[in-house]
Amino acid sequence: MARIKYWLLLSRIPFLSVMILPYILGALLASRISGNFNFFIFLLGLCGAALVQLAAHYSGEAYDISEDRLSITLEKNFFSGGSQVLVENHIPAKNVKILTGVVIFLALAIGLILQFYFKTGKWTLFLGVSGIVSGLFYSKPPLRWVSRGLGEFFIAYAFGWLAVNAGFYIQTSRFNILAALVSFSIACAVVNIILINEYPDYPADKQATKQNVLVRIGKEKGAVLYALLVAGSGATFFLALANGLPLISAVFYSPVLILAIVLAYQMLKGAYKDRKKLEKMCAMTILVNLGVSLSCILGLLTGKIG
């Protein structure tokens, strides 16, 4: 039971919602716009999306051990330093690397089944592989996006644009402008999750010579970037409303937007300097990201496509 507990901690199951909700949104958009919805394709795609994120989780834990060890000693935060499962030697790193390979194999198998058996479209496998490359190599050498200043971009792609548009594409075999606009709003919000989580990790990342955005630009400019991403997320959400997203979605989105603006204001005022406030802001930023997806989902379930 103890070993199972550690594997669950390593998998960070609650954070799978960051991928799952946008994927559900994409599939729901496909159903509402085209009338196409295959439940088995939906379930297979959902499993594939979850596996891609799990590969990213496992890879990050396996290849960020030194940074995670530093982070927990330099600036303790619930959202810093990963799960600490590998740091505390509860599970051997080699076992995690093996499991990462198994997860990737299963994700690729699902992609092959979707494309060649269910004939979901010529871009299906490419979309899956691009998600694997984006998430797996966030921390893993030799690409290691986080050390090249590209990590946030690939996270925005994988957990924003890709999650929504893959959910839409495998149901319809085509792309859609409304799905793209919604995904941009989610992408901005998910980058803010990464960005604000880099604050408690900042001393460790800087000492370990990581080259993520916050290390490159510093905390004050990072706060400005956070606020700009809030503005970008809001702007693209309203563009989506103008391009057919049910107007009722704005009602559900209003409290999410207010929370996002409050968080942006707190960042600009330097609230990140207070560890307790920062920890709460990290949690609230995750809620904002999930709130964008939920606002669209609830809007599609209760309103009419414009």
Q: pLDDT of 185-204, one tens digit each? A: 999 999 999 999 999 988 88
Range of the domain at 160: 10-302
> pLDDT tens-digit profile of 76-109?
677 666 778 888 888 999 999 999 999 999 999 9
Confirm whether 55 is domain-assigned.
yes
- Supply 253's token pair: 């989105």
> Which of the four pLDDT bands, split at 50, 70 and 90, describes residue 2?
low
Q: What is the pLDDT, as a whole number, of residue 287?
A: 97
Confirm whether 285 is domain-assigned.
yes
What b-and-e string marks burial along 61-81, b requiring 16 or more CB atoms within 10 Å of the CB? bbbbbebbbbbbebbebebbb
Confirm whether 1 is domain-assigned.
no
> What's the DSSP call for residue 186?
H
- Residue 129 backbone class (left: φ over 0; alpha: ψ -120 to 50; beta: rest): alpha
Which residue type occupies 138?
A: Y
Confirm whether 5 is domain-assigned.
no
Confirm whether 4 is domain-assigned.
no
Q: How far is residue 83 from each of residues 78, 91, 205, measured CA to CA in Å? A: 9, 11, 16
Closest C-alpha among 268, 291, 302, 301 to residue 196:
268
Confirm whether 294 is domain-assigned.
yes
Q: Provide the percentage of residues in the chain whose pLDDT is more than 90.
A: 78
Confirm whether 158 is domain-assigned.
yes
What would you report as the CA-atom Rg of the chain, rounded to the nearest whole angstrom? 19
Q: Per-residue pLDDT for 1 more than 70?
A: no
Confirm whether 2 is domain-assigned.
no
Q: Could you tell me the pTM of the whole model? A: 0.94
- The count of structural domains within the chain is 1
Report whether 187 contacts 229 (CB < 8 A): no
Q: How far is residue 76 from each of residues 13, 209, 215, 272, 294, measured CA to CA in Å? A: 21, 19, 18, 14, 31
CA-to-CA distance for 95 and 145, rounded, in angstroms?
23
CA-to-CA distance for 215 and 288, rounded, in angstroms?
24
